[in-house]
Amino acid sequence: MDLINIHRGVMIEKIKIAVCQMKVVDNKEKNIENAVNMIKEAAINLSNIIILPEMFNCPYDNQKFLEYAEKRSNSKTLKYISRTARNYGVYIVAGSIPESYKNNIYNSSFTFNNHGQIVAVHRKLHLFDIEIPGSIIFKESDTLSAGDNLTVFDSEYGKIGVAICYDMRFPEIFRLMAVDGAELIVVPGAFNMKTGPDHWEVLIRSRAVDNQVFMVAASPARNEELSYVAYGNSMIVNPWGDVLARAGSHEEMIYADIELSELEKVRRELPLLKNRRTDIYDVIKK
């Protein structure tokens, strides 16, 4: 960690990002314990922002979403993550969990600041329905409801955006987050063994290149015992589209030291956001 980081009140230049590519199993308590342990390891390694994968406490399975869903007000999962954020003084983008809210279940990502307070909630905007005969069939909309908001929030490190998995396939929301000031966009996501090899890297890198932002994509480790097998290959990418760190398929941590000021340099050299022809077209929020 850069020394500048320990001086409160000054601009924080260098940030250590950690992604916990954890192996999710069919046991909520074990998943929580594993998440907490991996966060502790990242914190001991002086990480500032620690990221968990999509559905880190629950197998990616419609039936399990129903079984594992928790209300924010009495979520055991969130209680443990909050406590760990506070105890170690780290930001945690807590991947996502099945969240029970009113009569619906959402695929929700909670972000905790270094005091353990929730500072952002992103509910997956686009539900994943895919049907490739003989390869992969999954209909998230069978059990889940979709959120209605883009998520960009301020932190002491800079402006952070959050999207979840299938959200990554829609370039509009990344453009809107970047225009809204997001410098780092975090995407917990569980691509599968068809879409992962074919699309995961190209999507992560193109969102970074188009919007000249840092991208962090956090996948669960590959677990062949579950009905839906995640691709792994969590990745941290800089605003030029270079891959700074990339996981394999197994459970592991990846790290990268980043400087958000790199955005300014890239945008000065190749002024993409400025060169948009917003007199001809635009992406709008409704």
Q: Is 131 or 224 the residue whose CB approaches a copy of itself more closely?
A: 131
In the residue annotation, 165 being an active-site residue is answered as: yes
**Which H helix or E strand runs over 131?**
strand 129-132
| Bridging pattern class, strands 14-21 and 49-51 | parallel
Instruction: Judge contact between 196 and 229, C-beta under 8 A.
Output: no
Residues in 142-181 at the binding interface with a copy of itself, rule: CB under 8 A: 146, 148-150, 166, 169-173, 175-176
Alpha carbon of 185 to those of 129, 135, 164: distances in Å? Answer: 23, 30, 10
Q: Closest distance between a copy of itself and the C-beta of residue 131, in Å?
A: 6
Task: Point out which span in 7-15, 156-164, 181-189, 276-284 binds a copy of itself (CB under 8 A).
Answer: 276-284
Instruction: Figure out which of the listed residues 122, 126, 159, 222 binds a copy of itself, where binding follows CB under 8 A.
Output: 126
Q: How far is the CB of 147 from a copy of itself (least distance, A)?
A: 9
Catalytic residue among 20, 124, 140, 183: 124
User: Cβ 47 to a copy of itself, closest distance in Å?
Assistant: 28
Nearer to a copy of itself among residue 25 and residue 243 (C-beta): 243
Residues 2-31 as b/e (b if ≥16 CB within 10 A, e otherwise) read eeebeeeeeebebbbbbbbbbbbebebeeb
Judge whether 14 counts as a catalytic residue.
Answer: no
Terminal Cα distance for the chain, rounded: 41
Distance set, CA 62 to CA 69, 257, 266 (Å)? 11, 36, 42
Active-site annotation holds for 124: yes
Q: Is 198 in the site for a copy of itself (CB under 8 A)?
A: yes
C-beta of 266: minimal distance to a copy of itself in Å?
9
Contacts of 210 (CB under 8 A, 6+ apart): 171, 174, 175, 272
The binder of a copy of itself chosen from 119, 241, 255, 267 (CB under 8 A): 241
Q: Does 6 bind a copy of itself (CB under 8 A)?
A: no
Identify the residue whose tokens are 């009569």. Answer: 103
**Where does this chain bind a copy of itself (CB under 8 A)?**
125-127, 129-132, 146, 148-150, 166, 169-173, 175-176, 195, 198-199, 202-203, 205-206, 209-210, 240-242, 268-272, 275-286
Residues with catalytic roles: 54, 124, 165
